[in-house]
Structure 1
Amino acid sequence: MFVCAGCGTDLTAPVSRVALPVHADYGAWEELHPPLMDPGTYAAEPRSVVVIAPGDSRGMALIPEKCAGYCMGIDGRDGPNLACEGCGRAVATRRDDCGLWQVVWLEADAVRRVPSGLPAVPVPGWDQPDLEAYAVPPVELDGSWSRRWQAAVPVALAHLVVACEGRPVELPGPLAALVGATAGCLPAGPPVLTSSLAGPGTPVPGPGGADVLLVPRHPVTGETWRPPYGAAPPVVPLDIGVWAHLALPGETSPLPASGTLPEGVLRDDYPLPLRPRHAFRPHHRAFGDTLMRLPGIHRPQLRAHHDRYGGPGPY
């Protein structure tokens, strides 16, 4: 848990560290979002801050004069807006405005991490993944695309472009139709490389089976899954929620095993798959932002992508 560095007041419930979600910086404009973090978890962000779910905050009060926002909440534009109730020190920033995942960012120099006294939460290994628990459907109940998918897919495509060194690549079946609308992300032209899903609980393509593997990112450590054999193709990390949904078997048939339903009989006990209202739209910044952070983007083969996404946008 985290306490105030000044007076020791408890500022969070007991929390366990997990990887920062790849969609942390990518929300949908003028829409309210759920919390970024699951209850009881925290992530350390490279900019020297710690992120928790708002529901895990304790002993903090809003600073009224620092609660500006766009229209639906607080966006953190004025800096830390939460003060320690023990000593009044500014210790964190609450963000919950439209287009932002709901979070509380703890200022690293204003808090201390201390043992909670509870048993440590074990880190699941790659040999025991619960894919159904991790899987995130691509379509929300209202027919809109999952905001997590809209960020995670272009992030993975940026890694794929660099892994393929700018050469056209054929996506695995489950992704091929989905990203057809993301023209400009992947290199144009007939595919010269192939990619495949691989990971725990799925068959690993043998040598020559695929040029690039799309594999899950560990939800706790953030590490990329690696094939068990040595000489493996390059791997591209994919959000485990997206990867697990793609890797799971498809829906079973609503038809009886003996044949078709009798004429005039309809089933109302089998949920129909959710259908999106429009074509898949990746987050407008997720691909370019990720691409420009990857070291390989400076290779000569990726000059066109570097020049296109190296500026301030729009892309």
Structure 2
Amino acid sequence: MAVFACARCDAELTVPVSRVALPVHAHQYVGHELLPVLMEPGTYAVDPEPSGPPWRTWSETGADEAAARGVHAPVPVLSCGPAGAVVVAPGDVRGTRLVPGRCDGYCMGLDGRDGPNLACVRCGQPVATRLDDCTLWQAVWFDPDAVRALAADDPAPAADWDALRHEYEGVPPLEQPGWWNPRWEAAVGAALACVLAASGGSAVEVPGGLLAETFGRALDLLLPPGRGPGKLLAPSGPGLHGPAPDIALVPRHPRTGEVWQPPPGVAHAVPVHAGVWIGLAFPRAHLPVPVSGGLPDGVERDDPLPLRPRSLFQPDHRLFLHTLARLPAVREPWLRGVYDRVSRDPYRRPF
């Protein structure tokens, strides 16, 4: 466990929290609605990328400097702020107050547009930014230069892959009244960029069902036609058996961030949010007709009826572009063409 404190006066600013992997949807924007809390109570995560001002445009940074920072395709702006921002659930924060004049937002809450909006109660130093406006996952982001950990976490135990399905619930792909879960849109958007890079421009064969709904349509629209035999895309991981696919979707452990290592024979492994991976690897089948009489073990109720999607699935285009820009493969002409096309018209299908 760790407790974060003000770097100036050592006042404690959080309850004891344990480190977990940064959620893939941490920087996602979702429509015009209030979103739940990003982090589970009692946990924190660290963003490895720079965040906050000062900002520099692509033309100011230059391709060579951007590549040295791990960005290989043009992006609107690059942060030159410090890396290592710490994110926690708002309910785990202690000893802070809102900063007058920094509480603006779009319409429903705070969006951090004026900089850090939480200050240490003891010394008054701005230490964090609370986000709770529409489109944003609710969270408190601590400035890495304004806080320090009073006690470091104990070393995390090795990931127990055999217990993954029992310890962590899968993320449902649909929410009431049939909208796609934004966590699925984020996870698939990020993984889609890696699948494209792994394809090398060849066709990708996707099994039917949920995998085809989430990945298949996007791949058909993005990959250039007539580029040789297809590569098979399928989940691989603990509890799954069968022939190894060419491109394996494997789970990223939600606590340690460790990526499951596929067996020999898998040419490419693409990490996916563990909750989404569970849904893809072990989809829950719904019965086509109601069951009469008693319900035997393993049979689901027919009331309420299973949700059906109200629209086609759309991977998160912002996370797709963010991930693709940070893959060296985007420098290949065909993949750079995909990046430029989506950048110019991000809301065109499948985005």
* 1:26 Cα deviation after fit: 1.4
Please, which runs of 5 or more residues in structure 1 have no aligned partner?
Answer: none
* 1:291 Cα deviation after fit: 1.1
The answer to whether 1:165 aligns with 2:200 is yes
Q: Distance in 1 between matches of 2:206 and 2:217?
A: 13
Structure 1 runs of 4+ with >6 Å offset: 118-121
8 Å CA contact 2:128–2:143 kept in 1: the answer is: yes
* 1:293 Cα deviation after fit: 1.5
Please, which runs of 5 or more residues in structure 2 have no aligned partner?
Answer: 51-82, 294-299
* 1:286 Cα deviation after fit: 2.1
User: Counterpart amino acid of 1:54?
Assistant: P
* 1:213 Cα deviation after fit: 0.7
2:249 aligns to what? 214
Q: Distance in 1 between matches of 2:329 and 2:99?
A: 43
User: Counterpart amino acid of 2:235?
Assistant: L
8 Å CA contact 2:204–2:219 kept in 1: the answer is: no
* 1:221 Cα deviation after fit: 2.3
Q: Percent identity?
A: 49
8 Å CA contact 1:18–1:222 kept in 2: the answer is: yes
- After superposition, the Cα gap between the structure-2 partners of 1:299 and 1:312, relative to the gap in structure 1 and judged at 3 Å, is same
Counterpart among 301, 306, 312 of residue 279 in structure 1: 312
The answer to whether 1:195 aligns with 2:233 is yes
Corresponding residue SS for 1:275: coil
The answer to whether 1:90 aligns with 2:123 is no
1:8 aligns to what? 10
* 1:178 Cα deviation after fit: 3.5
- After superposition, the Cα gap between the structure-2 partners of 1:131 and 1:172, relative to the gap in structure 1 and judged at 3 Å, is farther
User: Counterpart amino acid of 1:195?
Assistant: L
Counterpart among 40, 56, 67 of residue 92 in structure 2: 56
User: Counterpart amino acid of 1:156?
Assistant: A
Taking only aligned residues, the RMSD between alpha carbons, in angstroms, comes to 2.8
- After superposition, the Cα gap between the structure-2 partners of 1:202 and 1:195, relative to the gap in structure 1 and judged at 3 Å, is same
The answer to whether 1:145 aligns with 2:180 is yes
Q: Give TM-score, length-normalised by structure 1.
A: 0.86
Q: Distance in 1 between matches of 2:126 and 2:248?
A: 45
Q: Distance in 1 between matches of 2:345 and 2:147?
A: 34
Counterpart among 154, 164, 177 of residue 189 in structure 2: 154
Q: Give TM-score, length-normalised by structure 2.
A: 0.78
1:80 aligns to what? 116
Corresponding residue SS for 2:129: strand
2:276 aligns to what? 242
Corresponding residue SS for 1:175: helix
Q: Distance in 2 between matches of 1:203 and 1:186?
A: 30
- After superposition, the Cα gap between the structure-2 partners of 1:255 and 1:310, relative to the gap in structure 1 and judged at 3 Å, is closer
2:266 aligns to what? 232
